[in-house]
Structure formats: C-alpha cells, structure tokens
Amino acid sequence: MDPFEDTLRRLREAFNAGRTRPAEFRAAQLRSLGRFLQDNKQLLQDALAQDLHKSAFESEVSEIAISQGEITLALRNLRAWMKDETVPKNLATQLDSAFIRKEPFGLVLIIAPWNYPLNLTLVPLVGALAAGNCVVLKPSEISNSMEKVLAEVLPTYLDQGSPNLGRIINQKQFQRLRALLGCGRVAIGGQSNERERYIAPTVLVDVQETEPVMQEEIFGPILPIVSVRSLDEAIDFINRREKPLALYAFSNSSQVVKRVLARTSSGGFCGNDGFMHMTLASLPFGGVGASGMGRYHGKFSFDTFSHHRACLLRSPGMEKVNALRYPPHSPRNLRVLLVAMETRCCSCTLL
C-alpha cells in the first residue's frame, strides 16, 4: 500500500473511532505541542536563523511566543469552546431546544507558507487539534530547515511520540520491527519514527501464519491477530507449535480459560492478564522444551542454581538389617525387603 494512502486511512480510522473527540485527548495533544516548543526552543531558533536569518529575539517574539500563547489560550478555554451554544428562539420554538454544536471536520490538511514557517504552521494546528480533528501537516519545503524540524521532531510529541511508551533498543531492532508492520493489515497504530526509534502500539489483522511476524519472537509493540473459527481450532493452532514461554487466555468465560489451561502446555499461564503472574515470587518463571530450561523467582531461583546432590548416611550398626540383602536368598527375606522398600510417609528419627 502507498505510505500516504496508509497514513490517511489510519487517521480516518482513528477519527471514526472517536479517539480525538474527548476533551482530555485534545488537551493532552495541546500540552504535548507546548512541550515541543519548550524542549526545542534552541533547535527552532537555529532553524529560523538558517532559513530566514531571524535573530533569537525576532524568532521568540514573532514565532515561538505567539504559538505558545495560542496553546495556553486554547487549554484555558477548551471546555468552554466545546460546549453547545444556545441561540435565541422565536415564539413558535419556545418549548424547543435550539443550539449550535461545534463538531470536528475529521481529517484536515494544513499547508504552511515559508514567511513565518513556525507561527503559520502551529497556530492553525492548535485550532485543529483543539477542535478534535486529525491533522495532516505540510510545512513549507522552501524553509527547509524548519521543515526538517517539524517533520522529524514534532511527530514524536503528538499522539503517536508518547512519553509513557518505551523505545526500541537499537536501529537494527527498529528496522526489523518496522518490516513486520508489512504483515497483514494495520488495524490500530502503525506509526513509527526512526529518529526516536519509536513504533506505536500496533494491532495487525488478516495475518497469515506463514508471515514473518508469526515465525519469530517479536520483542516489540506489535500484536498480530490470526482469526479462527472456534476455540478448538485455536487450541490446535497452539499445540501444533513449540511450547511457548507463556500463554495468555482472555475470555469473559472462566470455562474457556480453564479449557485452554487444561489442553495446552507452556512455561507459564495467565488468565485475563499478561503480566501479573511475573510479580509473584511464589510462582516459578521459566520455559518448557524449546522455550527454555530451568525456572526462577524466589526459592525457585535458588533451586535452579543448586545441584540437588542425593545423600544417604547409614549407621555401621545396621549390618544385621543389611544381611537381608545378602546370599543365601530366601522367599522370606525377599518379602521383608520388599515391604521395607515401599514408599511410606515416615518422619522417624533414629537416636
């Protein structure tokens, strides 16, 4: 799929899902935009100096401060702006409710000129975000230093660059994970930023079991979904493969969870959660078969790294009892010895 078409599709899906409508989401986006200005003030001033030879004073007054002021104003008044606006009524509509509701357009395009490349990009962006829209931002290619900052840095602060989400460990792993986004179809997420080594939490649908994302450990924020017709088919799908390190079963039915637990094997199992079993030192954590050897947590770690040496100490005064084992053998000695060798719950102490 063309990357631009994919981006537009994902933005439309986000808007249609209602993600941008709540006031909390809009305010969070605006605060993130404010952090972008605060964290990158010197970078923005340098870009303005390279493009237009603007001084730090002029950049602050005509670009950065105006943009920050718009953000502050929008945050202060957002909920008031979003409220329905009542209008005067005539005699015939006195018993009716008449009002104006401000609805977001949906997906909007902002094309910025080069003469005030930051101001004339961010000021309309503030309004579009405050109104609850998804935005495609087109900075001017003529002011290319500012364009580079807006294209590479700004996205890391908005809905996709969250400070509460981790980053990929290195460039090699980032490229590996980004390649996996081509499997199936992106239903949620899919955004990435190479500079930040960031990949948004992503759900892939229509995934085939032969695709790369199903052939390796992912180690990233990508969840592929393979559709099955029944629980039995899902269990068969699991059992045809090597035993996993952990298996998570999510269902409103406890019987479904118990059935998955009973008919599969894995290093660990968790019902309706994917993490909390790891917080218990009383539960061992480890794999089985191809997913790993040994187990750890609490005393399980101690036992894993200890050789369990088998030891038995007998008193030399027991030789008469030992004689039962020695020739000449007799049926009586065999019966007595077999009875003595039976496993018994015995906690006797020899004094």
Beta strand 192-193 with 198-199: parallel, antiparallel or unpaired? antiparallel
Q: Is the pLDDT of residue 348 over 70?
A: no
Position 143 scores a pLDDT of 94
pLDDT tens figures, 130-159? 999 999 999 999 999 999 999 888 987 886
Q: Is 132 left (phi over 0), alpha (psi -120 to 50) or beta?
A: left
Confidence of residue 107 (pLDDT cuts 50, 70, 90): very high
Confidence of residue 69 (pLDDT cuts 50, 70, 90): very high
Of 193, 136, 201, 128, nearest to 164 (Cα)? 201
Q: Is the pLDDT of residue 196 over 80?
A: no
Position 164 scores a pLDDT of 65
What average pLDDT does range 190-203 have in this prediction? 81
pLDDT tens figures, 209-240? 999 999 988 999 999 999 999 999 999 999 99
pLDDT tens figures, 109-137? 999 999 999 999 999 999 999 999 999 99
> Hey, which of 67-76, 185-194, 201-210 has the most confident mean pLDDT?
67-76
Window from 33-37, 89-93, 330-334, 340-344 with minimum mean pLDDT: 340-344
Q: What angle separates helix 119-130 from helix 65-82, to the nearest 10 degrees? A: 10
User: What is the Cβ-side half-sphere exposure of residue 154, based on CA atoms within 13 angstroms?
Assistant: 21
pLDDT tens figures, 276-307? 888 899 999 999 999 988 888 999 999 999 99
What average pLDDT does range 329-341 have in this prediction? 91
Measured CA to CA, the distance from residue 122 to residue 295 in angstroms comes to 53
* CB 336 within 8 Å of CB 323: no
Residue 126 has which token pair?
Answer: 């503030």
User: What is the Cβ-side half-sphere exposure of residue 331, based on CA atoms within 13 angstroms?
Assistant: 0
Position 351 scores a pLDDT of 40
Position 350 scores a pLDDT of 44
Residue 82 has which token pair?
Answer: 């979003």
